[in-house]
Structure 1
């Protein structure tokens, strides 16, 4: 890589850090705050809001499950973004000594960071479906958002 390409690469990594973790409107902060707000909302799904009748209570239970899955997904996205920034920091630390090696090391590290969130429960349901394909195992897998 030429010196100009390396300067662009370093600046790009710095920009990613700012957008994800270090900036005023950092994405990791937004994701974490959104997950916290959803978890607070889960606690509000009670008889005072939905009454004690079976229909509204069934809905409240399902809604709380949905909010839990959403909060877990947001928290996982924040963790993955934070892991990505840590990998960028490591690459930037190595950048001065071996610029091409730093870029290659970053690419290797980020391969282990999931691009999308899949909950452990959904992964287990998928594994079960793949081992025992049936309408029941497929429906169980489809029951998870993440």
Structure 2
């Protein structure tokens, strides 16, 4: 009787482990970029709110990451330059600032080298990366329709 319960417990655990393994998949470039950009935005928010790094956040440019914006590479490059050249040495040595720089550098490398042609850019609104608001822009086709109907 005891042997039967151990065997059924073993089979149950084996069944559960197959279910867990079925849901595991290696991250794609796109999923890695999305996850990393979300992580960066959360860390940047903590930098702005923490009393230890609030003074340092004044030197960092505002950034709202959108991986579908073609201006993201230039924005990441500019952010890295500003983060590396913060005038206060105290700020350059803060662990959260160092972590933020590493994450931004990793995202820059992934977008620029690893996923170079895998990402699809849906907009080129560079101002949206500074403000967080994307303004709808009319494309040439839409403008031509507006002109024709007027």
- Superposed pair shares fold, TM > 0.5: no
Q: Which has the higher helix share?
A: 1
> Does 1 or 2 have the higher relative contact order (CA < 8 Å, sep 6+)?
2
| TM class, shorter-length | 0.3 to 0.5
Tell me which structure has the larger Cα radius of gyration.
Answer: 2
Give the alignment's TM-score, normalised by structure 1: 0.32
